[in-house]
Amino acid sequence: MPLLPTISTTFIVLSAVLVGIGWILIANDKRSAHKKVMLAAALSALIFFIIYVSRTVFIGNTSFGGPEEYKIYYTVFLIFHITLATTGAVFGIITIILALKRNIKKHRKIGPVTSIIWFFTAITGVAVYLLLYIIYDGGDTTSVIKAILGT
């Protein structure tokens, strides 16, 4: 198991778990605890992002090392995950800003949508990790574009 991808994936899973806990807390009207847990979830996601970007810049990304006939399916799945993660991050930032500015009406509308997107982001992120490092041996470590396109 590669160290940095394992650590970063752990942080994204932790982030999703904390979002789930935050959802339960707000459903039980525990606002202060909800705020703390959701900020911890955001911090966990930020730590993931810092590790991911640092690894990408300094080491590169790992291309798919599984069977050639699966590569197209992996690539489509990876693009879906990246789109979902980007959308989830933008929604997450907006949701946090709304809460911190005390715009609770809008926060309540967007929060559940953000949470669901984030859960799927974490699930698909774990799937990418499993496909790259556990189920198959990783391919070459290369630039992001080459890893995505498999060239």
**Looking at residue 139, what is its pLDDT?**
86
Contact criterion met (CB below 8 Å) for 113 and 101: no
**Looking at residue 151, what is its pLDDT?**
60
Residue-wise pLDDT for 106-133, tens only, equals 999 999 999 999 999 999 999 999 999 9
Residue-wise pLDDT for 25-57, tens only, equals 999 999 999 999 999 999 999 999 999 998 887
Confidence class for position 142, pLDDT limits 50, 70, 90? confident
pTM greater than 0.75: yes
The answer, yes or no, to whether residue 61 has pLDDT greater than 90, is no
Cα dihedral 54, 57, 59, 62 sign: positive
**Listed range (18-27, 50-59, 90-99) with the worst mean pLDDT:** 50-59
The answer, yes or no, to whether residue 143 has pLDDT greater than 80, is no
- Rounded CA-CA distance 53/44 in Å is 14
The answer, yes or no, to whether residue 146 has pLDDT greater than 80, is no
**Looking at residue 103, what is its pLDDT?**
98
Q: What is the DSSP string of 49-61?
A: HHHHHHHHHHT-E
**Looking at residue 147, what is its pLDDT?**
66
